[in-house]
Every structure is written in C-alpha cells, then in structure tokens.
Amino acid sequence: MKNFIVLLVCFSLLAGCSNLEKAKEIRVLGQMKPDQEGHYHFYSFWSAVPDENWEETETDEELRRQFELYFSFDVPVGKLSVISYQFADSGHFKDYVEVLDVEEFPTFIILDHEGIVLRTTDVNELLDFIHALPDMEYEE
C-alpha cells in the first residue's frame, strides 16, 4: 500500500510538471503570436549585444560572425508588424529560448496567428521568406 501511495504521488508530480511546461509554452507563444490573420511577428535571438568597437576588440570568431550579420540585417518595411530582437541579457530571453528550444545563435523565428511559420539560422532563408510575404499595411 505504501508503495502504491508513493507511486501515485510520483505520477502526480510528473503530470503537474508536464502541465506547468505546457502552460508556459502556451503563455509564451500566446505573447509572441499576432492576433490577426495575415500579420506576422518576427523574433531574432542573438547570444550577445555588440559594443561600439566590436570590429577592433572582438576576438571570438562566432561572435564576430553574429555581429557582422546583425549590422547587415535589413528587413523590408511593411512586411512584418513587429520586429523584436532578443538578447541574452533581456528579461524574457530564457523563457523564449527554453520554450522555442533555441540552441544556435542567431536564430530567426517568424510567427503568424497560428504559430511558428519559419524557424532558421540562415539569414538568406529568412530574407527569402520575408520577400515572399505579400506587401501589407499594418494598423498601429
């Protein structure tokens, strides 16, 4: 009987943890998605924020690659309703990275009202997707 109670408590804890993770995923994705059909929200996740002298001072080749990409990045106006850059020191970064399972930086994610429509680390794939979006006007 004692083993049955311990087993029951363990299953309850596991189910509770699973429900908490699912609730967190629903909350985070709900905050990230646009409300209206035909609108898109764009998020890019970077491992660090470049300082002013990064070209002279940064010795980490991976960070140099990210910074070069960061400064050359150009999204056409009117294609996306929100552009949001998330850096490792921002408040929601950990939740977003955990829920979205971001493991490589930079990572680019575009969501529509239903969920993620693009997830890539390739800036060319990102720009091709954005350029294929219909031109649209967004109401502020």
The conformation of residue 36, written as its DSSP 8-state character, comes to S
Domain ranges of the chain: 2-132
CA–CA dist 116, 42 (Å, integer): 10
What are the residues facing 115 on neighbouring strands? 112
Q: What is the CATH T-level fold of the domain 2-132, as seen in this structure?
A: Glutaredoxin (3.40.30)
101 Rama sector, left if φ>0, alpha if ψ -120 to 50, beta otherwise: left
User: Please, are residues 38 and 114 in contact by the beta-carbon 8 Å criterion?
Assistant: no
Q: Which residue has the tokens 């009202």?
A: 113
Query: Tens digit of pLDDT per residue, the chain (140 long)?
Result: 666 565 445 555 555 545 777 787 888 888 888 888 888 888 888 887 777 787 888 788 887 777 787 777 666 656 676 667 777 777 778 888 888 899 988 899 999 999 999 999 988 898 889 888 876 554 44
* pTM for this predicted structure: 0.71
